[in-house]
A and B are shown apart, each in its own frame.
Chain A
Amino acid sequence: MKTLLPAKFGPYGGQFVPETLMPALIELEEAFVSAKADAAFQAEFNKLMASFVGRPTPLTYAKRLSEKLGGAQIYLKREDLAHTGAHKINNALGQALLVKRMGKRRIVAETGAGQHGVASATVAALLGLECVVYMGVVDIARQEPNVFRMKLLGAEVRPVTSGTQTLKDAINEAIRDWVTNVRDTHYLLGSALGPHPYPTIVREFQSVIGTEAREQMLLEVGRLPDTVIACVGGGSNAIGVFSGFVNDEHVELIGVEAGGSGIETGKHAARFGEPARGRVGVIHGTRTYVLQDEDGQIAETHSVSAGLDYAAVGPEHALLRDTERAFYTSATDDEALSAFHTLCHTEGIIPALESSHAVAEVIKRAPKMRKDQVILVNLSGRGDKDLNTVIKEIGD
């Protein structure tokens, strides 16, 4: 029983799922491999990426932010300008086209910040699929506008009250639905996580970010960036932008995890940040770094941003980290909120709290760099959904 594509990234990845789901993973892999080789599929995908998603998204020179920080020149890859307001739509559209190809009629999705839920609801409406989104009640409370958007788009939002009531538990419930309805249902997984072939499929559909950004850097700036920075929850926006530069050995790749209240407080989602608890394990079908206790129970995580509030990281990031091709750091809630305000004021762009973590790293790093150096930051989403959270934080 060999897979068509490699199921692992070094020692990470794999297919740790109940037997009931294995045939669905095999079917999905076959559909993906055949679609990749099918010019008609690619043409349809590319056409919708342009006419529906609005690609390519622009590359914006952050002039005032660069001046304020006084070091490297900063460029923003504007995934916040993609339809539905985040990079999530790239993968949702690609997978939804695979769903049509497989002849299934229903999708289930998990969502943390609501961006992937909105993207899934959007492509379901576009392609006439039934859509159920699982979302933890904690996240429903802090991402209310997105819940309303999903409902407007015709999706059913099912509140998840089990466990920590956040993204991890939404994934559990989505998998339980999938295992029950697998014959006609596809699990539209939103990050570069889960069992093979998901991490590979998600990277492939998100690689458009890196491909475009690389071309834009060469065309508009005349050179590649010295450093590429992206936030990492499951890691789909990061793996997407990294994929464009991973073969350019001199380009430094930096992933920013959620530092929450600070690593030392234990309230965070920095899987690579706390070696005592962030250990290699198996969760949601994949082997990767997972925040867990001594007994292998998955830890509760904390982040001001729902999209980064998850105990495990995508398996390819685990390998990139081990091989030191990419480096991972973290930004705290306070640093992300401060970066959120800074970008609003200096550039007239309201970033998602997730993306604000990447901006926070830019603020730390740019002043130490020379003015002829260049940072590319992936602005993975826009912040409209976070206004309630930010207002509350300011109030506090």
Chain B
Amino acid sequence: MDRLKKAGRFLCSMKCAVILLVILAVACTAGSLIPQGQTAAYYTANYAESLAGAILLFHLDDVFHCWWFVGLTLFLCVNLLACNVLRFPALRKRMKEGFTATKRIAEWDGVPAAVTVEEPEEIFKRLGFRNVTRGVMAVARPAQTEDSAGSAEGAAGPESVPTRYAVRRRAGVWGAWLCHLGMLVVIAGFGLGQMFQVQYSVYGVPGQTKPIGNTGYELRIDDFRVKLREDDTVEQYETDMTVMRAGENPAAAGASGTETTEIGITGADETVGTAGVTGAAGETGIAGTVSVNHPLTIYGMKFYQNSTGWAANVQIYKGSELLQEGVICAGEYALIEDMEGLAVVLNAFYPDYVRGEDGMPATASPALHNPGYLYTLYYNDRILGMNVLTEDEIITVEDYGIRFTNPQQYTLIQIKRDPFTPVAAAGGLLVMLSLVLAFYLPPEEVWAVQRSDGTWLLAGRSRKAGAYFLEELSKYGGKAPAGLPEKDGNKQTE
């Protein structure tokens, strides 16, 4: 039982938090220095055998998703929660009862920050304290400085003396507590997001309509623009698109929900404004434009302009007769329908094709000067050939001719649905605000006790600024009575 209690106490302690945070920092270091998500062969090839073994054994190849990292994070959450639950009553009590003249002055060691003849209320107001309470308290006479009269009074036992007391920013006690709560919300939002978010990506060229995973929606790419600057660097990628329920594509009447490759449907003449949503929901779906850094939310899904690549039209001839034509993106394959088992893969595309010094294909510039198509031809999984084809060349296999034309850039749209992003965002905001509260709006107290000679001893307390707060207090401390030291309070009262 004792052990259980001890364990429980440890779980709620700051010591436990410190240990967990140190381990998490070390784990993050490992996760950033060891390349993540590679194959086992990669580690055995790049690290000493024992090290590679350790990496795989402790899942250091995927630190941030492995069970022990998630476990430690959960452990930290429990720790945070326990800490906050336990501290809540004490903090509430501190807010309600912790800031009183009686309590503060009784705990005071009697060392003043300043001695003054002025009414302390005025001084406190100058310091920014608004509600100054006047009171009378039974205290042991505060220590007198040696040159003041009646030092014997100090030993005279408790007596009633006038006091002044003020406190400000009491809510500051909640700073750390709210920060912990905010962290819990961030971690919860992130964790739930990781568990429940869904992501898809759709790529294609203008005119293509593709399903968005199994959401029942499809996405039509209406136009794709790569905006270049004068020096040929890319300024922006922009896709005009329409999202609609599957089967509602008006421009492709009769198209099934699968990958359709209508060629020749060009984008709408008018580009739809910037990231605004135009068009009515319903039959025509919702149209909009996404560009890098300007995502768009449609039907609860968020669309991002993610990347781009090259695509081309692939044409299959038999003799001079065009049998088949479709769009193929780099990395995709096309099956020759007329001859089972025959397929062509467009491995890569070079807009300004040259042969590099090493004999490998390369591109001299990003501009479309001399298109080169690197292809591989397969017949029943056997490679028939691999080469680079330029614009007017045709590959011939038996009676068939294969040709690539009309190179154009395709757009890759990433689609994401994560209902927990706002949760994490709210947590982040809470952490931010609570840190301002914790660091810049901490509770501050000032008090004064009148001595028998009518002078006042001023003192104050700020957990954050310590000696510097007292210095400020002594600076504002008003006129000191003749012969008394103006500054007397470099000692921290904490």
Q: Do A and B actually bind?
A: no
Interfacial residues, chain A to chain B (CB-CB below 8 A): none
